[in-house]
Amino acid sequence: MIFRNFRLIFPDRIEAGSLQTKDGKIISINGPFIEDDEVIEGDGKYLSPGFIDIHIHGAGGKDTMDGEVESINTIAGIIAEHGTTSFLPTTMTMGVPEIRKALGSIMEASKNPIGASILGVHLEGPFISPKAIGAQNPGFVLEPSIEAYELITSGYEDLVTSITMAPEVPGASELIPYLKQKGVRVSIGHTAATYEEAVEGIGLGCSHSTHLFNAMTPLTHRSPGTVGAIFDTDITTETISDGIHISWPSLRIAYRQKTSDKVMLVTDAMMACGMPDGKYWLGGQEVLTKDGAARLLNGSLAGSILTMDAAVRNVSKNTSLPLHEVVKMASLNGAKFCGADDRKGKLASGYDADLIVFDEDINIGNVFILGKRFK
């Protein structure tokens, strides 16, 4: 398949050009091309690597915690429509049997993906702080320990890419180095940590932070908090860029501080994503969606109904970042986080043909996953 006359989005630039794919891989950029019966004309549209969402709970009325392969497939299909070609299904703080059932369904769905590819799983909890619970269920919070982690993940260890936990709670200082040694990315989140406690967690092995600014101690001039620790170290972070979770000035400040190399765009979407306003569920708790926001009955934000194309559009419109850097935050950075940047996240020969076509307003046209047209 030849993609001709596009604006190709690379991590460091955008340039006019063409590329060819074969057997699910990119085989040539700007020639030489072998003879091919299928040619897609770009007419100046953008050709981008597919988006990678490392933090998403649900979409299309389905949730990761349903524990059903059908639910994972529905989520994968809905988000692919919006340009996401790979993702990490994300669990919630619930009972151990429920989390294990979710892991089983994710593993089964990953064997024959329908829509976006599954690169692993993100465990959000249950080792979090009750003082920064957010939309998690306080009734299922567990004290972190190696034994508790192994109880949850036994048989699914290789599936776990990342885990969100609070570094200050008792037991965390023993579990964090263990997880780092196993290759699991430990992310600071749902935490009441002081600056010092967060920095200590980073020293032990925390390398990322979950939904920057949300469910963590803020930065003030005398108590820098977890946000200050994130800004003062080189760990990566992620933002829910819907204009609801974080104000645009705060996002601009964060992007200038961390740079586009250290930030990932995520949705943290829940089952109401792609659905009309109404009543839904997240982690066993009732959620109402209205005016673009998802909230628990107590008013707390409960994930989002954001899609990755909307996140890219929002950041492009509300910051001074060039489009290629915004796309990098939505693709290559996530691939690096998942250890898949040797094959995903950018336009390069030998990389997976996860490709999306969009216009000036980031309206998704075509979507290709491993070289096969999805949309």
Same domain, 56 and 34: no
Same domain, 367 and 276: no
For residues 236 and 262, is the Cβ–Cβ distance under 8 A?
yes
User: Which two three-digit tokens encode residue 183?
Assistant: 């290759």
Same domain, 30 and 82: no
pLDDT score of 283 more than 90: no
Stretch 28-36: mean pLDDT, rounded? 93
pLDDT score of 148 more than 90: yes
pLDDT at 43 (0 to 100): 94
pLDDT tens string 291-308: 999 999 999 999 999 999
Same domain, 138 and 258: yes
Task: Dihedral sign for Cα 103, 107, 108, 114, please.
Answer: positive
pTM of the model: 0.97
* Strand 62-63 versus strand 58-59 pairing type: antiparallel
Question: Which residues are the active-site residues?
Answer: 268
Question: Helix 146-153 crosses helix 96-111 at what angle (to 10 degrees)?
Answer: 50
CATH number at residue 59: 3.20.20.140
CATH number at residue 33: 2.30.40.10
Domain of residue 69 covers 51-342
Same domain, 41 and 107: no
pLDDT tens string 167-194: 999 999 999 999 999 999 999 999 999 9
Stretch 35-49: mean pLDDT, rounded? 95
pLDDT band of residue 31 (cuts 50, 70, 90) is confident
Among candidates 262, 219, 206, 221, which has minimal Cα distance to 239? 262
Torsion, Cα 121 105 61 123, to 10 degrees, reads: -30
Same domain, 108 and 178: yes
pLDDT at 91 (0 to 100): 98
